[in-house]
Every structure is written in structure tokens, then in C-alpha cells.
């Protein structure tokens, strides 16, 4: 019966495109943080699943990174209590703001390493050019971990490499996997049940002295494309990593969604600029426009629809119009009122009166 259940779950994972799964037993120290606020909904979903003590319980790797985002907010620590030296919220944004002025990927990698070393308080990161390759190396031998669970630390650091790949990909607006040549991990091959290392399409060297991403040297000259007028947040980096993961899955979440649904989801996540959404989805702006045109719509129409739905949701929760205008990115409440009237032919006040009358009649 256990074998049948496990096989059924594997088949379901493949159907859903969850080729890269994380075993709940491999992240037990994370799921043991039961004091986390209930606002971390995805985290508590898997905490409850883990309590059932069933064998072969897994989650998609994309959900693991969604949980990391939730916990970094709930704990106000971007290391998620992995390090005794916590990183304040905004640390990633600080690093991204620094590398936006870099000319190429090699310079950006060096600045990322230097910035993380300063924040963590030690020389744990470095960048080298060796034998015609560009290497980002993490040496955690003296890192101030808060726990001694080696398997969990290995798993976490292997996922840090995926997150780092996401930062570098985001910074260049390119998929860097074709330029990746090898991945190094300190873990021995075998003991983990998770399939997160299947994310890499290159050889993985186990039992290495450090955690390393090794790129072809041609990657060093790739230009940095971050808009200095818009500093990406930690949330945007996590979203980018999640998108990378599900796009690589053969039948993953993004690949089974139409471009309209993808854009709508990105807007709901707070990306309101067409250029930001295009980069988030891995398109150029002209390509995004063309894809939307094939669906008989435009980015402006989708943005208006998403903002209208969000504004109505916030109004139904009793949020003041001024706060809604700020939340949705309008310059002032008057601009929001004009937009709302254009969307619905009535003002926000008239809409609220309609809702109140319905509630009273019910």
C-alpha cells in the first residue's frame, strides 16, 4: 500500500510538472518552526501535511522557494535563521542596487560576493577565473550556522546555488543555464530523497570542498541590464527563481499557463510595469506585446483589469481610498478615482454605496 501511494504521488508530480521535488523529511528543521505567523499560508500547509507522518511526502521545489519568501518576511531575517548573524529585510535589494552599476557579469559576481561577505561578516564568497572558466565559490567551512544538521545544511546550500543562479540570470535578463558547465556540492551523493539537483542540466560534482557554480568564461562579459531607476526587491528575485524552476519542468506551472494568465499573475504579484513583467516572464517587451496581440488583448487592458479587481477587493475590506491609491501605485487618490470611473463608469464612492445596499438587503 505504501509503495502504491508513493508511486501515485510520483505520477501526479510528473503530471503537474513537478520534476524537481523536495522531501519533507529533508527540510524537517524548517517545518519544525511551528511558531511562525499564520500569514505564511504555504508554509503552514506543509507543516500540517508533515504532521500526518506519511512516507514519501514531497513538495514542488517552486513551493520550497515560496516558503522561503514567506519565512524571510515572517522572521525578518533573509537567512531564515540559518545563520547566527541575521540578514535584515532589504539585504537583497541593497546588493541588487549595488550591482546595477556594474558593466558585466564578472564585475557583478565579484560585487555580490563582496557584499554578502560584508553582510555575513566573513570571507565566505569569492569569484575566480580558472582554466578558462568563471567560478562563483562559496566556502562555508567557518560559517556561523545556527544548527549542526549537515544534511539540512547541504540541502539548503544547494538551493542557495539555485537562488544565486536566479540573481545572476535576473541581472543579465538571460537564461544562464546554457553557459553553466558544472555544479559543485560538499554533500556525498545519495542520502537525500529530494530531487532538487535535477534542476541542473550539467554534471554535478559531489564531495567537493566548496559549493560552486562554474560558467563558461564567455559569461563574464555579459552586460548587466538592471534598471537603476527600479531596484528589484527580494520578492522579485524569489519570483524570478520560481519562474525559472517551473519553466524548466516539462509540464510545469508556467508552461501550462497561457501568456494572458502569466501576465495577470505577475501583475497580481505587484509587477505593474510592462518592462518588468516582460523580464519576469523571460520575454522582450516587443515579444510580450506580440504574444498578447495574438490573444486579442494588450498589457494595458490586463493591467487595468487586475488593478480594478484588486481595488474592489480592497474596498470590500474597508480600506480607505487614499491607501488603495498608494497600494496600487497611483500618484494620488484623484488619479485612482479617475481610473476607477473609467473602468466601471461609476466612482469608488458610488461603488461602495452599491455594496453597502446589497449587504443591508441581505
Report pLDDT digits (tens) over 285-295: 888 888 888 78
Query: Which is it for the CA torsion 266, 280, 94, 33, positive or negative?
Result: positive
Grid cell locating 165:
543562479
Domain count, the chain: 2
* Same domain, residue pair 210 and 306: no
Nearest-angstrom CA–CA distance, 65 and 21: 12
pLDDT of residue 319 exceeding 70: yes
Alpha helices (H) in the chain, listed in sequence order = 2-15, 28-31, 41-51, 61-75, 91-99, 105-120, 150-172, 234-248, 259-268, 274-281, 285-294, 299-316, 321-327, 333-344, 348-361
Give the model confidence (pLDDT) of 161-184 as tens digits: 999 999 999 999 988 999 999 999
Q: Is the pTM of this model over 0.85?
A: no
* Same domain, residue pair 26 and 118: yes
Strands 204-205 and 211-216: unpaired
233 domain-assigned: no
Which DSSP category does 136 fall into? E
Domain containing 316 equals 301-361
Nearest-angstrom CA–CA distance, 300 and 306: 10
* Same domain, residue pair 320 and 174: no
Q: Write down which residue in 221, 237, 269 finishes a domain.
A: 221
Q: Write down which residue in 160, 194, 221 finishes a domain.
A: 221
Residues 215, 241, 71, CA angle at the centre, nearest 5°?
125
Residue-level pLDDT at 105: 97
Q: Write down which residue in 187, 221, 255 finishes a domain.
A: 221
Identify the CATH number of the domain in which residue 316 sits: 1.10.10.60
Partnered with residue 184 across adjacent β-strands are 205, 212
Amino acid at each position: 500500500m505504501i509503495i502504491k501511494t508513493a508511486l501515485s504521488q510520483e505520477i501526479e508530480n510528473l503530471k503537474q510538472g513537478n520534476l524537481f521535488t523536495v522531501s519533507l523529511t529533508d527540510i524537517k528543521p524548517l517545518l519544525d518552526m511551528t511558531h511562525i505567523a499564520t500569514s505564511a499560508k504555504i508554509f503552514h500547509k506543509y507543516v500540517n501535511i508533515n504532521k500526518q507522518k506519511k512516507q514519501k511526502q514531497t513538495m514542488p521545489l517552486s513551493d520550497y522557494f515560496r516558503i522561503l519568501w514567506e519565512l524571510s518576511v515572517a522572521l525578518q531575517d533573509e537567512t531564515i535563521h540559518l545563520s547566527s548573524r541575521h540578514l535584515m529585510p532589504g539585504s537583497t535589494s541593497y546588493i541588487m542596487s549595488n550591482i546595477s552599476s556594474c558593466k558585466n557579469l564578472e564585475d557583478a559576481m565579484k560585487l555580490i560576493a563582496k557584499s554578502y561577505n560584508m553582510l555575513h561578516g566573513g570571507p565566505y564568497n569569492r569569484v575566480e577565473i580558472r582554466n578558462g572558466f568563471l567560478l562563483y565559490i562559496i566556502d562555508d567551512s567557518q560559517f556561523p550556522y545556527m544548527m549542526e544538521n549537515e544534511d539540512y545544511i547541504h540541502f539548503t546550500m544547494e538551493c542557495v546555488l539555485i537562488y544565486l543562479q536566479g540573481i545572476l540570470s535576473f541581472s543579465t535578463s538571460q537564461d544562464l543555464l546554457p553557459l553553466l558547465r558544472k555544479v559543485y556540492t560538499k554533500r556525498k551523493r545519495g542520502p537525500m530523497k529530494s530531487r532538487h539537483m535535477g534542476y541542473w542540466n550539467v554534471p554535478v560534482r559531489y564531495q567537493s570542498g566548496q559549493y560552486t557554480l562554474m560558467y563558461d568564461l564567455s559569461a563574464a562579459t555579459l552586460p548587466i541590464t538592471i534598471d537603476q531607476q527600479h531596484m528589484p526587491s527580494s520578492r522579485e528575485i524569489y519570483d524570478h527563481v520560481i519562474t525559472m524552476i517551473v519553466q524548466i519542468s516539462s509540464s510545469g506551472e508556467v508552461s501550462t499557463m497561457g501568456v494572458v494568465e502569466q501576465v495577470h499573475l505577475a501583475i497580481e504579484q505587484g509587477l505593474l510595469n510592462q518592462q518588468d513583467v516582460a523580464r519576469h516572464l523571460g520575454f522582450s517587451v516587443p515579444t510580450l506585446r506580440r504574444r498578447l496581440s495574438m490573444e486579442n488583448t494588450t498589457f494595458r487592458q490586463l493591467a487595468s483589469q487586475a488593478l480594478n479587481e484588486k481595488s474592489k477587493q480592497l474596498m470590500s475590506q474597508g480600506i480607505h481610498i487614499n491607501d488603495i491609491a498608494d497600494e496600487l501605485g497611483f500618484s494620488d487618490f484623484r488619479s485612482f478615482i479617475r481610473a476607477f470611473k473609467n473602468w466601471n463608469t461609476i466612482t469608488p464612492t458610488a461603488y461602495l454605496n452599491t455594496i453597502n445596499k446589497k449587504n443591508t438587503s441581505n
